Chains A and B, each alone.
Chain A
């Protein structure tokens, strides 16, 4: 009985200390921010209830977008090598094959209307300032035209098998132009010098970001970078919730590939240790019965 009391005191002291240095301290260092908003409710320039016309969308896209953007999935490969594209625009313009699948509809429509506002990069590209974003705003299009474009992009988006294939496809499309991932043996598609000049600093390699930032932070950050890192050059990319989960899943596959094994082995080891402890207790009781 006395030994339980001693154990309780130790548990209490350790528990209080643990609370102070982990949950409490982390709360102080990283205060909670607004939850992720996957409706992108701050963007209201386009009426997304309008039904888009795919055929008209195709016409608009072919007339306006193919000058800079490739759409492999619709048979429109990149016009020039990445290095040249980066030299021309500052960054490699994204291939739009997956855009319809991975970007939120409301975001995508508002992005086309006004890219800088959608990306929350007004601090980097102030209106009337010296620096202009390489993609112009399409606010001269009617809301119907913009929804037609969105509908077309959604229609050409290739089906990807659930799981690893989807994870990698989404990650490459959403993040691969700027971020390298050494552990996946991939470099950013925009050459290093170009992306550094374009962004102001080299976007970090994401190989271990699942371990250094963890899922909770990434969930909030990708949805709205400015909320957690005010002033950052990283655009709000507008991923829908499913696409964002795919990106995080890919980061886990590359950065913490042994997670499943760790959790499975862990359960077996704990079970074994429990059996060991019970047997040790029984042996101890037998030995000590002779001396009490």
Chain B
């Protein structure tokens, strides 16, 4: 009797230890699939916008996507819910991929708008679709304003407010 219950207990204890080893191995394997540290840090891009020239499109790269950053001139009017204020200036911050099929629209300084070469779509300087096949405005990347710098990848309060507004529209 005693032997059986000891054998039973040791059997269960052995089984439990083996199971723990198995689970630990699976956790390790899961971590091998995780994106590398270098990838995670690249998930955040910091841009010093104060150095930018007005009406000259700046293209940064964030998570493999082109990000349009356009500093407004004095006569360019900010669009409510789309334009970002950093310090004393207004900026458009948007993902530079046409919402039709993902081509990168070109900025026209003289007309202060974007024209997509692929199928003729047009967007305002604030990225709102105004002509052609694009179904919606240029998407907004998550961003945070930190003094005079823009951190792409983090959701700051201004971003959250803009998304809430866009969701309600």
Contact = CB atoms under 8 A, between A and B. Distances in A.
A230 B51 CA distance: 38
B117 to A, nearest CB: 6
A200 interface: yes
A231 interface: yes
B133 interface: no
Interface in A169-215: 200-201
Label chain B's interface by main secondary structure.
loop
Interface in B110-128: 117, 120
Contacts of A200: 106, 117
Interface of B: 106, 117, 120
B101 to A, nearest CB: 13
Label chain A's interface by main secondary structure.
loop
Interface of A: 200-201, 231
Nearest to B117: A231
5 contacts: A200-B106, A200-B117, A201-B117, A231-B117, A231-B120
B71 to A, nearest CB: 23
Nearest to B110: A130
Contacts of B120: 231
B103 to A, nearest CB: 10
Nearest to A233: B117
Contacts of A231: 117, 120
A201 B103 CA distance: 12
A231 B117 CA distance: 7
B32 to A, nearest CB: 35
B108 to A, nearest CB: 12
A30 to B, nearest CB: 15
Contacts of A201: 117
A279 B63 CA distance: 60
A201 B106 CA distance: 11
B119 to A, nearest CB: 9
Contacts of B106: 200
A231 B106 CA distance: 14
A200 B107 CA distance: 12
B160 to A, nearest CB: 36
Nearest to B106: A200
A200 B115 CA distance: 13
A200 B116 CA distance: 12
B105 to A, nearest CB: 12
A-B CB proximity, top 5 nearest: A231-B117, A231-B120, A200-B117, A200-B106, A201-B117
A271 to B, nearest CB: 46
A14 to B, nearest CB: 32
B78 to A, nearest CB: 28
A200 B120 CA distance: 15
A229 to B, nearest CB: 10
B120 to A, nearest CB: 7
A201 B117 CA distance: 10
Nearest to A230: B120
A94 B147 CA distance: 53
Nearest to A232: B117
A228 B120 CA distance: 15
A231 B120 CA distance: 9
A231 B103 CA distance: 14
A204 to B, nearest CB: 14
Contacts of B117: 200-201, 231
B122 to A, nearest CB: 13
A201 B118 CA distance: 12
B98 to A, nearest CB: 14
Nearest to B120: A231
A201 B120 CA distance: 16
Nearest to A231: B117
